[in-house]
Structure 1
């Protein structure tokens, strides 16, 4: 499918540029961004290219706005919604770019055909797991994700019983991985847009907050996890999905088998070595020896505060 044309037109040039840059950062959406200030130029563009989403400032007269053809039209209002055309939706201008984008994505999910997400192109599932605890696994996973995000969109998912996410990601997006699994169980569709609406972002890395209650995490079955990963790659543009894995999830070994690469951290102390040997032997006796074939064992130096 071709990229969706997302057009912003506003008299405040700096505002419009900053908004465009914020939306452009969400690479997984696959939008082709366009910026205008002159309505005549925008009208000429609309006659040559299909505009899928249009954000238009309220400063432009309604009689001029109606000349612009677009699939979905929003007017950036500064206060009370006045003088909107029948096919226009008002959206408050002076709020965060994330809130503006969330409103648009939620409308798109409700409208079904108003906006169809780009088809996924597949990607790599990367697992971070170690039988040795307090070894800096989460820190390693996040740094790896930020580095890989330089090559393309990356999603980080924490599947630990105690994730410590308030420390790593203090921003509360209001929804978590449990909500995402619920949408899949209900066959809600538009998973790519749903993830985009609920995902937070740091350093170019997308993340969905983990399940906060241990019992809820343990209740998720192996098949549900595997279906989630499949749906993400089928409906999203993520090049990599990084799984920060703990011992408490069901189906740990099948999930490790599904990963393209597994990073297993260890240290050179005797206890760490003994745990690593026991883990490797468990994989062999349970029929998951092939996990070791795509495992990269990485020796680390543990620092105070590592998790």
Structure 2
């Protein structure tokens, strides 16, 4: 098998089907999923295949299954506890499939003795959205473009602004964010796909990493960690990674240079034009003219729909405008 295997067992067929449906649609989970409602079928599969994680109710666990399972056993618990009576990691069964998977991936990502197989079909395209000009609808365009691309592709959106405002925009407080993932990378741990899968959230069909809360979480990260972070992202099972750039990332130009396309929203006016000219001059001085070759300047018209909820931008007038550039990002 090309991927690590997660086996799910429960005698409740509806429960297994619901969990399987979510896992098979979840773009960020780096696993092959196998579901079982018959214990003999489960036992036969484990005896003939390497299973990395077995998710099973405690009252269904027996000595034979435990003896043939070489991977991690995680208990689907009736109670919200961290471990069962035998010290095995437990996951509360009566919660959303999304939360179950976050717990499984978060736990497994921190196991030092295990390593997940990287995506062998890595071919994600890195699309950058950047502008030296302020108030140019950069983030709105980035979200709209990502949502449009996600209609037919696996898309991850990454926001690198000092102040994204996502907690208020999405009316949600996130338990983990980009700073946790960067810290994980800095620790040189090996299960990046699992850690990512334990953190990603969704806006429609598009995955995103919750942005940092403090600008220090962006500015304190060194260039090597940023480069490693993006290299790891490109190995994950996404078709597109859309990056909404700020100005304070160490190694910013190296990352920008690695994009297949860069869209630069600009505005009319003397000050805005002067900022763009200064940025372009800086690129020439630093011998980074190739960034200019992959950059397309865009003037985003004002749409009344710019004030719509973030999750609706892909279906708004701005979304239709972004659709005209989706081919260039594809």
Q: Same fold (TM over 0.5)?
A: yes
Change (3 A) 1:111 1:247: closer
Distance in 2 separating the partners of 1:290 and 1:70? 50
Distance in 2 separating the partners of 1:135 and 1:126? 18
- The question of whether the paired residues in 2 share the 8 Å contact of 1:42 and 1:68 is answered with no
- Secondary structure of the structure 1 residue equivalent to 2:28: helix
Change (3 A) 1:240 1:61: closer
User: Deviation digits for residues 126-168 of structure 1, max 9, x if unmatched?
Assistant: 2101222222211221222233334543322211122121244
1:231 maps to 232
Aligned pairs (5 A) from 1:50-199: 50-58=50-58, 60=60, 62=62, 65-66=65-66, 69=69, 71-79=71-79, 89-114=89-114, 116-119=116-119, 121-199=122-200
Change (3 A) 1:106 1:164: closer
- The question of whether the paired residues in 2 share the 8 Å contact of 1:117 and 1:193 is answered with no
- Secondary structure of the structure 1 residue equivalent to 2:176: coil
2:266 maps to 266
TM-score (norm 2): 0.78
Change (3 A) 1:51 1:228: closer
- Secondary structure of the structure 2 residue equivalent to 1:28: coil
Change (3 A) 1:136 1:167: farther
- Secondary structure of the structure 2 residue equivalent to 1:184: helix
Change (3 A) 1:118 1:219: closer
| Of 164-173 and 9-18, the range deviating more from structure 2 | 164-173
Residue 89 (structure 1) shift: 4.1
User: Deviation digits for residues 56-90 of structure 1, max 9, x if unmatched?
Assistant: 23453736755764522223221388xx7969543
Change (3 A) 1:242 1:173: same
Distance in 2 separating the partners of 1:271 and 1:220? 31
Distance in 1 separating the partners of 2:62 and 2:285? 71
1:208 maps to 209
- Secondary structure of the structure 2 residue equivalent to 1:29: coil
Distance in 2 separating the partners of 1:159 and 1:303? 24
- The question of whether the paired residues in 1 share the 8 Å contact of 2:28 and 2:200 is answered with no
User: Deviation digits for residues 2-25 of structure 1, max 9, x if unmatched?
Assistant: 122322222222222221222223
Distance in 2 separating the partners of 1:224 and 1:65? 41
- Secondary structure of the structure 1 residue equivalent to 2:185: helix
- Secondary structure of the structure 2 residue equivalent to 1:238: coil
| Of 208-217 and 116-125, the range deviating more from structure 2 | 116-125
Distance in 1 separating the partners of 2:212 and 2:106? 22
> Unpaired runs of 5+ in structure 1?
none
> Unpaired runs of 5+ in structure 2?
311-330
- Secondary structure of the structure 2 residue equivalent to 1:262: strand
Residue 247 (structure 1) shift: 2.8
Distance in 1 separating the partners of 2:271 and 2:38? 68
- The question of whether the paired residues in 1 share the 8 Å contact of 2:150 and 2:205 is answered with yes
TM-score (norm 1): 0.83
Q: CA RMSD in A?
A: 3.1
Distance in 1 separating the partners of 2:257 and 2:150? 23
